[in-house]
Amino acid sequence: MTIKVAIINYGIGNIRSLYNSLKKIEIEAEIITDPESIYKFDKVFLPGVGSYKDAIEKIKKIGWDKAIKNFSSNQNKSLFGICVGMQILSTYGYEHGISNGLDIIKGEILRMDEHGCELKLPHIGWNNIKVLNKNLLTENLNNEDNFYFVNSYSFKTVNSNELIATTSYGIEFPSIINKQNVFGTQFHPEKSSKAGIQILKNFINA
């Protein structure tokens, strides 16, 4: 059976880079702009760059919020949020004021210095992960693998059984999360060389 893969384009996200990375592993993803089209696909990526507030406002304005929630409620489907796309899966975000997120994975997104980080923000560049819970997304990876980050905000709290890996930058913050069929990475797998490609493969092949 051919797996149908899509990338949501809601106006914020590194669409082309992700599309090209998937093409390297011979996955022809479709870039979708109509929320109703999401149900035709098996695996869907929710990318994002910029602010939480801008991202969730665009998601809701277009009607992606209901579509994403309905899609993720089907356990035969899988959703993968990247960077801000992961953050808006949360309950609330506090970037430029408080915003209600998609509330798919319980937690709050705060600026990292508000929960203890004293290093320069944004956190930009390569950093490794610490795998806490075995997960299909981390198959064939280890704690020495590096990934590319660009973030000033992060999850403050995540249920321990949904926290797959953390990264250290002044604080330990969640860098991979998973709740049932919904996954998220704070880093950009599409910009993370071989380790990032492995993450994409793991998601597609799960």
DSSP H or E stretch at residue 151: strand 146-151
- DSSP assignment of 55-108 equals HHHHHHHHTHHHHHHHHHT-TTSEEEEETHHHHTTSSEE-TTS-EE---SS--E
Contacts for 73 with CB less than 8 Å, ≥ 6 apart: none
151 with 113: CB under 8 angstroms? no
Q: Quickly tell me which residue has 């990318």 as its tokens.
A: 47
Q: How far apart are CA 145 and CA 136, in angstroms?
A: 16
Active site residues: 83, 188, 190
Which among 200, 6, 156, 176 is positioned nearest to 83, based on CA atoms?
A: 176
Q: How far apart are CA 170 and CA 120, in angstroms?
A: 9
- At 150 the three-state DSSP class reads strand
Residue 57's φ and ψ, nearest 5 degrees, are: -65, -40
